[in-house]
């Protein structure tokens, strides 16, 4: 508690700094460098680049040109040391810090996601970041999902562990994961073996449902299995006035696919979701559009429902391509599974975590409905005999996640830190 109090202002400052400098998934270069330096200073053994992630297991890497363009901007700002930059360029962002107590004990891992979203932040006067002058300076990019807060919590927890390492037992792994949005980064970290042998795994999210600040749910139910698909229809251009029939209209094929994708039937066995979040089609007004792209995602309460959706989506995409005699390319660029928090771990946490100046109310479990690639990590932990959970930290969210006006009550930062520190007290405390 003393520690928490002492670091509170620092946490808020961190959060605002990251909020002001948001970076998209696999391009969190400055974010990664900052975290890396901090962990280093705290005596963590630090890992970056291909040590963190398996190259080929990353889903949905941005196009080369996009990476290059942002890397240039970053280099121009000149804040990152070459030693770091050379490791993390080409989308190898994220840091893992590890530290061992000299006293043996279990291996506990924590995961914090660090990426932002392609959303333009509001400039409404009532928006807290606007009033307090820390809105995004990276145009069109925004921390609209609370990951800025997650990083701040992770840095504070690292500080705590480092300072108290002698009173703790066992091993601590802090994973700062890139590209959570779209379910793209976790899988590649898991593939590098970072979760193998972890005894206790914790991650969590600020908000996600309407819990009050001070309320903490020790586990989340209802994360959905999800698949992210990129689609390209390729047809043929033709002058729309002179010879429209000679074109093969990719834009019509895509628009038609959109209509029918949303019309995929509900499933009687549980929640299903389908979204086409982006469509870019055509080259010019008077040209039959030669190529069009869609970004699609499906979600299901079970993997079976999600599979139903992806199979139906596939048939629709193929049918639409057939209709317009255009070719179809599709690529799975992200994937998440259903998450199951470990009941024994939840029980243990529930028996030990206490309310105090920060935590006002502890729930065993709460319902959410998003998708999280932390699922890959948790499932790997469980498969190796460990126990994992994913918590929700109430934060009185007013505008939903991914909204241009998204914001949270900053008190949640200390509350989450408190929960994690108390959790350490159960399994990793020297007695």
- If the CB atoms of residues 51 and 303 are measured against a copy of itself, the closer one turns out to be 303
User: Could you say which of 37, 163, 360, 403 contacts a copy of itself (CB under 8 A)?
Assistant: 403
- Under the criterion CB under 8 A, does residue 322 sit at the interface with a copy of itself? yes
CB of 133 to a copy of itself, least distance (A): 24
Half-sphere exposure of 293 (CA within 13 A, CB side): 7
145 is in an annotated binding site: yes
Q: How far apart are CA 242 and CA 286, in angstroms?
A: 10
**Strand, coil or helix: 279:** strand
Q: Are 227 and 306 in contact (CB under 8 A)?
A: yes
Question: From the CB of 146, what's the least distance to a copy of itself, in Å?
Answer: 12
Kindly tell me which of 96 and 296 has the beta carbon lying closer to a copy of itself: 296
Decide: helix, strand or coil at residue 347.
helix
Question: How remote is the C-alpha of 222 from its chain's centroid?
Answer: 16
Near a copy of itself by CB under 8 A: residue from 63, 102, 125, 242: 242
Query: Among the candidate windows 8-16, 167-175, 190-198, 402-410, which touches a copy of itself by CB under 8 A?
Result: 402-410
Is residue 393 within 8 Å of residue 204, measured between CB atoms?
A: yes
CB of 147 to a copy of itself, least distance (A): 14
C-alpha dihedral (249, 250, 256, 260), degrees to nearest 10: 150
Binding-site member from 382, 398, 402, 411 for a copy of itself (CB under 8 A): 402
Out of 220, 288, 395, 412, which residue is the one contacting a copy of itself (CB under 8 A)? 288
Q: Is 226 an interacting residue with respect to a copy of itself (CB under 8 A)? A: yes
User: By CB under 8 A, what part of segment 370-399 binds a copy of itself?
Assistant: 370-371
Structure tokens at 175: 């994973």
**Is residue 364 within 8 Å of 390, Cβ to Cβ?**
no
Residue number, 169 or 272, with CB nearest to a copy of itself: 272
Phi, psi (rounded to 5 degrees) for 29: -70, -50
Is residue 267 within the footprint of a copy of itself (CB under 8 A)? yes
Token pair belonging to 319: 């049918």
Asked if 381 contacts 173 with a C-beta cutoff of 8 angstroms, the reply is: no
Number of Cβ within 10 Å of residue 188's Cβ equals 28
How many angstroms separate the Cα of 223 from the Cα of each of 212, 370, 382? 20, 5, 16
Residue 331 marked ligand-binding: no
Would you say 401 is a known binding-site residue?
no
Stretch that binds a copy of itself, among 107-115, 150-158, 263-271, 381-389 (CB under 8 A): 263-271
Query: Does residue 328 interact with a copy of itself by CB under 8 A?
Result: no
Tell me how far, at minimum, the Cβ of 430 lies from a copy of itself, in Å.
41
Provide the minimum distance between the beta carbon of 106 and a copy of itself in the complex, in angstroms, as a whole number: 33
Residue 284: CB minimum distance to a copy of itself, A: 5
232 binds a copy of itself (CB under 8 A): no
User: How far, in Å, CA of 93 to CA of 28, rounded?
Assistant: 6
Among 67, 165, 271, 363, binds a copy of itself (CB under 8 A): 271
The residues in 96-135 that bind a copy of itself, with binding defined as CB under 8 A, are 117-119
- Report whether 173 contacts 131 (CB < 8 A): no
- Contact set for a copy of itself, span 17-76 (CB under 8 A): none
**For a copy of itself, the closer CB: 34 or 308:** 308
> Are the CB atoms for 300 and 225 separated by under 8 Å?
yes
What gap in Å lies between CA 200 and CA 387, rounded to an integer? 5
Q: Total residues at the site for a copy of itself (CB under 8 A)?
A: 79
Question: 């363009």: which residue's tokens?
Answer: 69
Pairing mode, strands 95-100 and 171-177: antiparallel
- The reply to whether 301 sits near a copy of itself by the rule CB under 8 A is no
Per CB under 8 A, which region of 2-10, 257-265, 350-358, 382-390 contacts a copy of itself? 257-265
| Residue range at the interface with a copy of itself (CB under 8 A); choices 49-57, 171-179, 279-287, 387-395 | 279-287
For residue 86, state whether it binds a copy of itself (rule: CB under 8 A): no
Task: Quote the crossing angle between the two packed helices 29-41 and 147-163, to the nearest 10°.
Answer: 10
- Sort strands 215-217 and 327-336 into parallel, antiparallel or unpaired: unpaired
Q: Which residues are annotated as a binding site for Mn(2+)?
A: 145, 147, 181, 205, 402
């Amino acid at each position: 508690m003393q520690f928490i109090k002492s670091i509170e202002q620092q946490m808020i400052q961190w959060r605002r700094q990251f909020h002001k400098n948001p970076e998209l998934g696999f391009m969190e270069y400055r974010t990664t460098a900052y975290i890396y330096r901090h962990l280093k200073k705290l005596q963590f053994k630090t890992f970056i680049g291909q040590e963190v992630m398996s190259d080929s297991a990353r889903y949905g890497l941005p196009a080369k040109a996009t990476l290059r363009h942002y890397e240039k901007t970053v280099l121009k700002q000149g804040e990152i040391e070459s030693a770091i930059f050379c490791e993390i360029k080409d989308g190898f962002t994220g840091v893992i810090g590890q530290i061992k107590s000299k006293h043996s004990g279990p291996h506990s891992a924590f995961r914090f996601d660090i990426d932002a979203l392609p959303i333009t932040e509001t400039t409404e006067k009532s928006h807290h970041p606007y009033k307090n002058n820390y809105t995004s300076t990276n145009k069109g990019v925004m921390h609209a999902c609370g990951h800025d807060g997650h990083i701040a919590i992770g840095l504070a927890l690292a500080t705590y562990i480092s300072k108290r390492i002698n009173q703790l037992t066992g091993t601590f792994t802090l994973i700062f994961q890139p590209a959570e949005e779209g379910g793209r980064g976790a899988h590649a970290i898991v593939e590098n073996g970072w979760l193998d042998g972890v005894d206790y795994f914790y991650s969590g999210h600020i908000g996600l449902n309407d819990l009050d600040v001070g309320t903490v749910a020790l586990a989340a139910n209802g994360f959905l299995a999800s698949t992210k698909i990129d689609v390209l229809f390729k047809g043929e251009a033709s002058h729309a006035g002179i010879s429209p029939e000679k074109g093969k209209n990719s834009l019509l094929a895509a628009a038609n696919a959109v209509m029918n994708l949303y019309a995929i039937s509900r499933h009687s066995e549980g929640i299903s979701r389908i979204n086409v979040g982006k469509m870019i089609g055509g080259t010019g007004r008077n040209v039959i559009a030669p190529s069009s792209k869609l970004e699609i995602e499906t979600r299901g309460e079970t993997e079976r429902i999600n599979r139903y959706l992806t199979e139906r989506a596939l048939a629709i995409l193929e049918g639409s391509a057939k209709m317009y005699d255009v070719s179809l390319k599709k690529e799975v660029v992200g994937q998440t599974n259903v998450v199951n928090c470990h009941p024994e771990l939840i029980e243990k946490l529930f028996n030990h975590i206490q309310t105090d100046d920060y935590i006002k109310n502890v729930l065993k479990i709460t319902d959410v409905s998003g998708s999280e690639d932390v699922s890959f990590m948790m499932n790997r932990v469980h498969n190796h005999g460990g126990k994992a959970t994913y918590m929700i930290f109430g934060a009185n969210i007013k505008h939903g996640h991914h909204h241009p006006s998204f914001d949270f009550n900053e008190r949640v930062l200390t509350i989450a830190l408190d929960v994690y520190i108390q959790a350490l007290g159960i399994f990793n405390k020297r007695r």
